[in-house]
Amino acid sequence: MTFQRRALLKGAASVAGLSLAAPFVSRTSFAQGSSGTVNIFAWAGYINDEMLAAFEKATGIKAKYTPYGTNDELLNQLRANNGAGFDIIWPTVDRVPNYVEFGLVQPLDEAKIEVAKCLPSAWANSAKYGAVVDGKRYQVPTDWGTEAIAFDKQQAPLEYGTASYGDIWKKEMAGKATVRGHSSLVGLGLWLEAEGKLPRPLLDAFGSPEAQVEIFDVILAEAIARKGNIIQFWSNENEAQGAFRVNGAAIGQTWDSTGAALSKEGLPIGFIAPKEGALAWMEGVSIPKGAENIDQAYAFINWFLTPEAGAMYSNATSINSTAVGASDLLSDEAKAFFAAAYPGDALDKLWWWPIQESWYVTKRNEYQDRFLSA
């Protein structure tokens, strides 16, 4: 899959959790919904009271927000409810085919979406990563970010060009690293691949169960042998930050938002893309099969793609918005964080998560569990 990364990344900036002035969002004429309620099921920390108030002011619609911590939590909740209970959900784009497979989301009516508000390359290329299944679009891309290396500038200083996933696993970092179970195996795999130690390209693991087993058997053995480096595993944002803040981590494979939040607190934490390529993901909003407030859901989608809402979101989360014009409302300090995280050719080397089919996720979780319990 070829992703036009530069086209997507132009005008996008990661925010270091900086305090921007709350943008004024005037009441505009949205095509769908001017009253009622919309029920949003989104990642913890993605929606705050300021955003809910701005949305209601702009549209007249009240929004109810319920948080979750992982893609699997979202999928399991939707399956338990048979696609009911919420009007908006927020899966990563590579997992959307899972929701389509289980009949949990409905095709979107593109005539009701103000597509011009979304970065053109994000809209076009999200289709290659799971937003479009069998010719039907099931997700509107709203944001993107990365998982790379957070590091203590004093204990584990890193520089772009030499920084590597391998730094997390070297002997000097024994008892000082934090990682997430399943994605750390991919990061480790990228390092092993660069060192010529995988039996075949890592991407093959996403193509067939046989290749996944062949590749992940090697990765898991290496991860278990180096498990002494891990002082704490994380599965959500709070845990990742806590590893550095209170549990003594000096290095870790974390989300960009983790490094941004810790830096905002004044901690000597940096965040940088490794030479093997930062793990890049795109997210977006979908409408579940059992959604009851359809017009209000489309109104939320169109509001979220405004420059003001995009900037408000980025300010709150340190994640990049796909809304056209949102980057123009970000501070110079925020742009500086982005530049420090992705210097040189880092944007050209981003490693975009492939579509994760159900068979891959099931086996991936097995490898994760074996790593955690070893």
- Going by pLDDT thresholds of 50, 70 and 90, the confidence category of residue 34 is low
pLDDT of 330 > 90? The answer is no
- Going by pLDDT thresholds of 50, 70 and 90, the confidence category of residue 334 is confident
The whole-model pTM stands at 0.83
CB 58 within 8 Å of CB 9: no
Give the model confidence (pLDDT) of 174-198 as tens digits.
Answer: 999 999 999 999 999 999 999 999 9
Cα-Cα-Cα-Cα dihedral sign, residues 309, 315, 317, 319: positive
For residue 325, count other CB atoms closer than 10 A to its CB: 16
Give the model confidence (pLDDT) of 116-130 as tens digits.
Answer: 999 998 999 899 999
pLDDT at 284: 97
For residue 240, count other CB atoms closer than 10 A to its CB: 28
Long-range contacts formed by 338-345: CB under 8 A, 24+ apart: 338/12, 338/13, 338/14, 338/15, 340/270, 340/271, 340/272, 341/14, 341/146, 341/148, 341/256, 341/259, 341/271, 341/272, 341/273, 341/278, 342/273, 342/278, 343/160, 343/272, 344/160, 344/161
What amino acid is encoded at 325 in this protein?
G
Average confidence score pLDDT of the chain? 90
DSSP secondary structure letter of residue 1: -
Which range has the worst mean pLDDT, 22-26, 48-52, 113-117? 22-26
Q: Per-residue DSSP letters for 280-316?
A: EEEEEEB-BTB-S-HHHHHHHHHHHTSHHHHHHHHHH
Give the model confidence (pLDDT) of 208-227 as tens digits.
Answer: 999 999 999 999 999 999 99
- Going by pLDDT thresholds of 50, 70 and 90, the confidence category of residue 364 is very high
What percentage of the chain carries pLDDT values higher than 70?
Answer: 91
pLDDT at 332: 73
Query: Mean pLDDT over residues 267-273, rounded?
Result: 97
In whole angstroms, give the CA distance from residue 157 to residue 162.
11
CB 187 within 8 Å of CB 165: yes
Q: Which CATH architecture has domain 145-279+350-373?
A: 3-Layer(aba) Sandwich (3.40)
Query: Mean pLDDT over residues 79-87, rounded?
Result: 96
Question: Is residue 72 helix, strand or coil?
Answer: helix
For residue 135, count other CB atoms closer than 10 A to its CB: 7
Compute and round to an integer the Cα radius of gyration of the chain.
Answer: 20
Query: Mean pLDDT over residues 344-373, rounded?
Result: 96
CATH 3.40.190.10 residue ranges for the chain:
5-144+282-334, 145-279+350-373
Give the residue from 36, 113, 146 showing the smallest Cα distance to 305: 113
- Going by pLDDT thresholds of 50, 70 and 90, the confidence category of residue 102 is very high
- Nearest 5°: the CA angle 48, 297, 145 is 50
pLDDT at 22: 35
Please tell me the number of Cα atoms within 13 Å of 177 on its side-chain side.
24
For residues 137-162, one letter each, b for 16 or more C-beta atoms within 10 angstroms of the residue's C-beta and e for the rest, the string is bbbbbbbbbbbbbbbbeeebebebee
| Options 3.70.10.10, 2.30.22.10, 3.40.640.10, 3.40.190.10; CATH of 5-144+282-334 | 3.40.190.10
CA 279 and chain centroid, separation: 9
Query: Mean pLDDT over residues 260-279, rounded?
Result: 95
